[in-house]
Chains A and B, each alone.
Chain A
């Protein structure tokens, strides 16, 4: 019996979900091993193989990891140099000047990934049209190579001005280095991001260079260890854009897999939504320190054109940028806020209650953990209200002290506000929920979508606990809590497709663009995407391509992506102005007059390799933990109410009315009074509020 295994390395735990070809689903959770991350993977896979019995094998390993972003955040990157056009080595450090916070003289810029003395310059200059203004000076290249050698550089990024228009000089510099120093990893900007604007291209290329040796080393160790335990299956990595990439491709372009863990959950939600026929889904993924929201429409995830690595959570709106390292590659559009189970609750000097963004983390953790925490957290509030089991999660390995939590909430929150213990605890949860609602609104309402028509898919360790309350506030009536909500990223990995995202700068006013020019640009992208999928082993009948144009009204300074309808280039051109206007109206609530000029800024291709068979099993059998029980829990409308506590299988027979608590190994799902929960054919909990 062979299994496909999804592995998600998180900060605390490494999660495994395995689908057997016979329909079995196995899970495993083990503490992460940050100093040697692949050790935990080998343990887990060995455990899964052992549990499956003799004759079991692994057919595919699908993997999400934060190794890339961790290396950047902790400064454990390769010794990296940057080669630029003379006069422009500081582009990396000057960035776009912007800061993410106002009125804070303590704000400190992220340290450049390449220090100034390793930012080397060569004499050359290409013009925007690709013609050469100054020939590349061989002596300056030789001088740069000499420094690379003397400074024992491990990886180099090459980013010359206008290389998107003509990469010749970048290619010569790269070849010159390779000829002399064959062991240095090289990232060239025209290959990483062939787009105009030097800062995003430089920053993205530098990130790629800085983590490439780290990622290569990690993947080669992982593959060697897998082989040592007899696993020869191909390894694929989740990219930030939600598609899978073969390990080889990930080694070449590690910038694409920097933020892969959170993407996997959304991909899982998209796949599940398509199976269930849900047209519009908002995902709600809440963990210990943050909550993330994403949007899935017609089975497709919403994407963004750029992200910042290590910027922290969004500061209320996504207007203030500059907190992290700019990575301009397509990524799943996730809005993240600093509210999670560990978020600390306080009263400010003006008497207003505040939640987060400070988190108690794993140590000391919530007061109820009894590890010395003194400030009440959202988890303490949930415990006080009876929503969480004092016997704890994870099969009882972590017990919670209700009395400690009650005392902290009473003394630090209820007393100062003049509210009852329960009102105070619920109030803090509502405030945290309001913060999380901002994340959901950011990906829905702020993009012109009516969130009330969406279904919420709730996962993460804390998502199912708070989903119903948040859905009610937002006017969402349907909630899906998928199976294995606490392992959902690992689950999502098993459902992803191989994807390549390609972009081209192509500037032209729409009215002057000829069908031939458009055809030529599209063809070159299609050929490249096709070749990449062929390299991945997909036969022609399993290769798909979706094209987008980036367009704006002349004079606007940001573009929107408009999917191209199929047809001849002439048809496409004829319908493009209307398609753009309609999308503009949907996003911003208005469109320009009919004669407003539209310009094309670029083209994008999403090339996808379809799996041979459907990747989702027909049903995930609900877990059965044992007999149900009763527990008092406090709700606004009812006060203390005797609340049944059941397992997921307990919903199998008939819909049940709240209040109700569904307790699982990896999460707790709260069904408040007035809501109804049932189990669907796939194994999801469906809640109607």
Chain B
């Protein structure tokens, strides 16, 4: 029997008890996250931390989320509340729920949610919740993440809200269906066990908290934890100036309708202690598999908001109460079935870029220029010389946009996904591939008073007879934007056989056969710059030159810095050149937002004398 408790004002806990409880419940969510991290089988969970853990209250509201992927910020309560609607009061203390349906609260099929109730005398007091990105959930391609599927039925096993465990007994039928429909049943079952182990940890912790506080106070403390976050969020919002701003950013295409750019529009309205992210105006949902569900668009919105508000903002329902997300259904920001959504990661990254762009107009001193645009997904699969199958899945990422107070970071994960890079030696030891380089490229960071982060490249040589190469890159035609006069970063590039007669530029998103000896190179986009590059401190230009982060040509072209043959900057000549470059600019610069939004690749119009 499911009943929910609302506690009157009289049982408000004292501030010390509330803080101790907050610490305990956040620690519990972190302990769950650590359990999954340690026990998980798949590298996706480990390297990308593509999972989240949380404690929710009996109504499915988020109370505390473990350290995890920013994109998951809104996902757990959305999915749990869908389950609660489905099961009503048909929930027992020894049940465990499972689901992954994007159209019933999920995100994309690889993300499997596991929920376990914490009950007392038939009343649900709280939920232990986890979501993990599983290595494979079936469908037409290994990894279940093809960006060129056109409906969800091609993407894998779709689980509506179900009971994985009912009355303490694992549902053998469901398990057999799952095992039969995924490519790596051992790994999927292993990761599900890790999720169950994390829920067990949470239930033990909740039991201790119940024993300590009793039911009434426990419920009051859960409420106060959310209320405190709401007060804190509203306080921080109240200190920011009011305003409204709209930003448009683009995805190059969805790989199905090649060359057709996809529009994302974000309007931020801030008034008083409230902020709204409105995605009205964004492109209708697309045929390719890059459609967002509402919760993923919300995750991108919250991520951008949290960066502007405060580093220490908690993750719970209190934040959501003060920040509204409007994503019209039928658009790429909130797709309707049967839209495909397996590769919606790309749209999440771009939505974050777009939300940052809108916020940057309102709060220019708190937002960085566009980062690398999110990760590039690369998959190479086939059979090695002993005819054993191999599948290599890699995600490359690496540069931050220039910041209002410092250069963008070189070689750092995107803000929207705290990813790790794969070890070169492990790639070579486990796959018939040779990695030829992994390095930063000069003159790729968007020029600015604060330079954007540099592009990274990685190059592979195929050692097996042949294999299939799949690449999902973007920002090849819509470069990462600069801010406040900063220039955009360089576009992403895919190159076959670089430096050889057979060298060939490839599309950003592709599926092709790679044969023995062929070489594939990917270059990530460079990140956007912040502020006028002609105002860049010459000491910073000098340091970049010494470190090979820009070339002498780049210094001249982008920064108006004249480098003498022995490699030092000539301050006199530089001052004159900068003055001349300044003078050649349009007398009244157009507003930054029209010229410096998502800048398409254009020929360089400005050349040094």
A→B interface (CB under 8 Å): 86-91, 93-99, 101-109, 115-117, 125, 127-128, 133, 161-162, 196-199, 315-320, 347-354, 417-419, 423-424, 427, 430-431, 434-435, 438, 441, 445-446, 507, 553-558, 584, 587-590, 592, 596
- The smallest beta-carbon distance between B166 and chain A, in angstroms, is 20
The answer to whether B23 and A317 touch across the interface, beta carbons within 8 angstroms, is no
Q: Which of B395-441 contact A (CB under 8 A)?
A: 397-398, 400, 403, 405-406, 409-413, 415, 418-421, 423-426, 428-429, 434, 436-440
- Check: B228 CB closer than 8 A to any chain A CB: yes
- Check: B218 CB closer than 8 A to any chain A CB: no
Q: Which of B24-75 contact A (CB under 8 A)?
A: 24, 26-27, 30-31, 33-35, 37-43, 45-47, 49, 66-67, 70
For the complex, give the distance between the alpha carbons of A33 and B509 in Å: 61
Please indicate the chain A residues that have their CB under 8 angstroms from the CB of B256 in the complex: none
The answer to whether B425 and A97 touch across the interface, beta carbons within 8 angstroms, is no
- Check: B22 CB closer than 8 A to any chain A CB: yes
Please indicate the chain A residues that have their CB under 8 angstroms from the CB of B410 in the complex: 93-94
- Check: B549 CB closer than 8 A to any chain A CB: yes
Please indicate the chain A residues that have their CB under 8 angstroms from the CB of B405 in the complex: 106
CB contact between B232 and one of A93, A350, A423 (< 8 Å): that residue: A350
For the complex, give the distance between the alpha carbons of A415 and B98 in Å: 48
- The smallest beta-carbon distance between A203 and chain B, in angstroms, is 12
Which residue of chain B lies nearest to A354 when distances are taken between CB atoms in the complex? B19
Which residue of chain B lies nearest to A94 when distances are taken between CB atoms in the complex? B411
Among B259-267, B306-314, B337-345, B377-385, the one that faces the other chain is B306-314
What are 21 residue pairs bridging A and B, where the CB atoms are less than 8 Å apart in the complex? A90-B439, A98-B413, A98-B420, A102-B415, A103-B70, A103-B303, A105-B368, A105-B415, A116-B548, A196-B426, A197-B426, A198-B423, A315-B67, A348-B232, A424-B16, A427-B19, A554-B186, A556-B41, A587-B39, A589-B35, A589-B201
B→A interface (CB under 8 Å): 14-16, 18-20, 22-24, 26-27, 30-31, 33-35, 37-43, 45-47, 49, 66-67, 70, 184, 186-187, 190, 193-194, 196-197, 200-201, 228-229, 231-232, 235-236, 303, 306-307, 311, 313, 366-368, 397-398, 400, 403, 405-406, 409-413, 415, 418-421, 423-426, 428-429, 434, 436-440, 456, 459, 546-549
The answer to whether A553 and B41 touch across the interface, beta carbons within 8 angstroms, is yes
Please indicate the chain B residues that have their CB under 8 angstroms from the CB of A441 in the complex: 27, 31
For the complex, give the distance between the alpha carbons of A627 and B411 in Å: 63
The answer to whether A316 and B423 touch across the interface, beta carbons within 8 angstroms, is no
* Candidate in A95, A318, A350, A419 with the most chain B CB atoms within 10 angstroms: A350
* Candidate in A109, A115, A431, A555 with the most chain B CB atoms within 10 angstroms: A555
Which residue of chain A lies nearest to B39 when distances are taken between CB atoms in the complex? A588
The answer to whether A87 and B439 touch across the interface, beta carbons within 8 angstroms, is yes
For the complex, give the distance between the alpha carbons of A162 and B194 in Å: 33
Q: Please give 20 more A-B residue pairs, beta carbons under 8 A apart, in addition to A93-B410, A103-B70, A556-B190.
A: A99-B412, A105-B415, A108-B409, A109-B409, A316-B67, A319-B30, A352-B19, A418-B15, A445-B31, A446-B35, A553-B190, A555-B42, A556-B39, A584-B39, A588-B39, A588-B197, A589-B201, A590-B196, A596-B186, A596-B190
* Candidate in A127, A553, A556, A558 with the most chain B CB atoms within 10 angstroms: A556
Please indicate the chain A residues that have their CB under 8 angstroms from the CB of B437 in the complex: 86-88
Please indicate the chain A residues that have their CB under 8 angstroms from the CB of B24 in the complex: 434
For the complex, give the distance between the alpha carbons of A198 and B368 in Å: 31
Which residue of chain B lies nearest to A201 when distances are taken between CB atoms in the complex? B425
The answer to whether A555 and B231 touch across the interface, beta carbons within 8 angstroms, is no
Please indicate the chain A residues that have their CB under 8 angstroms from the CB of B549 in the complex: 116
Which residue of chain A lies nearest to B193 when distances are taken between CB atoms in the complex? A590
- The smallest beta-carbon distance between B545 and chain A, in angstroms, is 10
The answer to whether B425 and A161 touch across the interface, beta carbons within 8 angstroms, is yes
- The smallest beta-carbon distance between B178 and chain A, in angstroms, is 15
Which residue of chain A lies nearest to B397 when distances are taken between CB atoms in the complex? A97
- The smallest beta-carbon distance between A471 and chain B, in angstroms, is 16
Which residue of chain A lies nearest to B227 when distances are taken between CB atoms in the complex? A350
The answer to whether B16 and A431 touch across the interface, beta carbons within 8 angstroms, is yes
The answer to whether B425 and A197 touch across the interface, beta carbons within 8 angstroms, is yes
* Candidate in B196, B200, B438 with the most chain A CB atoms within 10 angstroms: B438
Which residue of chain B lies nearest to A100 when distances are taken between CB atoms in the complex? B418
- The smallest beta-carbon distance between A195 and chain B, in angstroms, is 9
The answer to whether A93 and B23 touch across the interface, beta carbons within 8 angstroms, is no
The answer to whether A349 and B19 touch across the interface, beta carbons within 8 angstroms, is no
Which residue of chain B lies nearest to A93 when distances are taken between CB atoms in the complex? B411
CB contact between B547 and one of A103, A108, A115, A354 (< 8 Å): that residue: A115
The answer to whether A349 and B425 touch across the interface, beta carbons within 8 angstroms, is no
- The smallest beta-carbon distance between A598 and chain B, in angstroms, is 12
For the complex, give the distance between the alpha carbons of A351 and B234 in Å: 12
Which residue of chain B lies nearest to A433 when distances are taken between CB atoms in the complex? B20
Interface of A is mostly: loop
Please indicate the chain B residues that have their CB under 8 angstroms from the CB of A102 in the complex: 67, 70, 306, 415, 418
The answer to whether B23 and A88 touch across the interface, beta carbons within 8 angstroms, is no
The answer to whether B419 and A317 touch across the interface, beta carbons within 8 angstroms, is no
Which residue of chain B lies nearest to A428 when distances are taken between CB atoms in the complex? B16
> Which 4 A-B residue pairs are closest in the complex by CB-CB distance?
A87-B437, A427-B16, A350-B232, A94-B411
CB contact between A431 and one of B19, B67, B200, B439 (< 8 Å): that residue: B19
The answer to whether B47 and A95 touch across the interface, beta carbons within 8 angstroms, is no
For the complex, give the distance between the alpha carbons of A435 and B20 in Å: 9
- The smallest beta-carbon distance between A149 and chain B, in angstroms, is 18
The answer to whether B456 and A128 touch across the interface, beta carbons within 8 angstroms, is no
Please indicate the chain A residues that have their CB under 8 angstroms from the CB of B409 in the complex: 107-109
CB contact between B440 and one of A90, A117, A161 (< 8 Å): that residue: A90
For the complex, give the distance between the alpha carbons of A445 and B200 in Å: 13
Please indicate the chain A residues that have their CB under 8 angstroms from the CB of B546 in the complex: 115, 117
The answer to whether A128 and B429 touch across the interface, beta carbons within 8 angstroms, is yes
CB contact between A88 and one of B42, B366, B424 (< 8 Å): that residue: B424
For the complex, give the distance between the alpha carbons of A162 and B435 in Å: 12
- The smallest beta-carbon distance between B464 and chain A, in angstroms, is 14
Which residue of chain B lies nearest to A125 when distances are taken between CB atoms in the complex? B434
Please indicate the chain B residues that have their CB under 8 angstroms from the CB of A353 in the complex: 15-16, 19
For the complex, give the distance between the alpha carbons of A208 and B53 in Å: 38
Which residue of chain A lies nearest to B440 when distances are taken between CB atoms in the complex? A90
For the complex, give the distance between the alpha carbons of A90 and B19 in Å: 44
CB contact between A87 and one of B22, B47, B194, B436 (< 8 Å): that residue: B436
Which residue of chain B lies nearest to A104 when distances are taken between CB atoms in the complex? B311
Please indicate the chain B residues that have their CB under 8 angstroms from the CB of A98 in the complex: 413, 418-420
The answer to whether B415 and A317 touch across the interface, beta carbons within 8 angstroms, is no
- The smallest beta-carbon distance between B137 and chain A, in angstroms, is 16
- The smallest beta-carbon distance between B228 and chain A, in angstroms, is 5
The answer to whether B411 and A103 touch across the interface, beta carbons within 8 angstroms, is no
Which residue of chain B lies nearest to A587 when distances are taken between CB atoms in the complex? B38
The answer to whether A589 and B200 touch across the interface, beta carbons within 8 angstroms, is yes
Please indicate the chain A residues that have their CB under 8 angstroms from the CB of B436 in the complex: 87
The answer to whether A198 and B184 touch across the interface, beta carbons within 8 angstroms, is no
- The smallest beta-carbon distance between B480 and chain A, in angstroms, is 15
The answer to whether A161 and B231 touch across the interface, beta carbons within 8 angstroms, is no
Which residue of chain A lies nearest to B234 when distances are taken between CB atoms in the complex? A350
- The smallest beta-carbon distance between B283 and chain A, in angstroms, is 27
Q: From known contacts A127-B428, A348-B232, A354-B19, infer whether A438 and B412 are also in contact, taking CB-CB under 8 Å.
A: no
Which residue of chain B lies nearest to A434 when distances are taken between CB atoms in the complex? B23
- The smallest beta-carbon distance between B116 and chain A, in angstroms, is 14
CB contact between B190 and one of A319, A419, A555 (< 8 Å): that residue: A555
CB contact between A105 and one of B67, B235, B403 (< 8 Å): that residue: B403
Q: From known contacts A349-B236, A352-B18, infer whether A94 and B307 are also in contact, taking CB-CB under 8 Å.
A: no
CB contact between B307 and one of A103, A349, A553, A596 (< 8 Å): that residue: A103
- The smallest beta-carbon distance between A431 and chain B, in angstroms, is 5
The answer to whether B197 and A589 touch across the interface, beta carbons within 8 angstroms, is yes
Please indicate the chain B residues that have their CB under 8 angstroms from the CB of A557 in the complex: 40-43, 45-47
For the complex, give the distance between the alpha carbons of A507 and B426 in Å: 12
For the complex, give the distance between the alpha carbons of A351 and B39 in Å: 38
For the complex, give the distance between the alpha carbons of A106 and B546 in Å: 25
Which residue of chain B lies nearest to A199 when distances are taken between CB atoms in the complex? B423
- The smallest beta-carbon distance between B531 and chain A, in angstroms, is 15
Q: From known contacts A88-B439, A350-B235, A427-B15, infer whether A555 and B187 are also in contact, taking CB-CB under 8 Å.
A: yes
Which residue of chain A lies nearest to B416 when distances are taken between CB atoms in the complex? A102
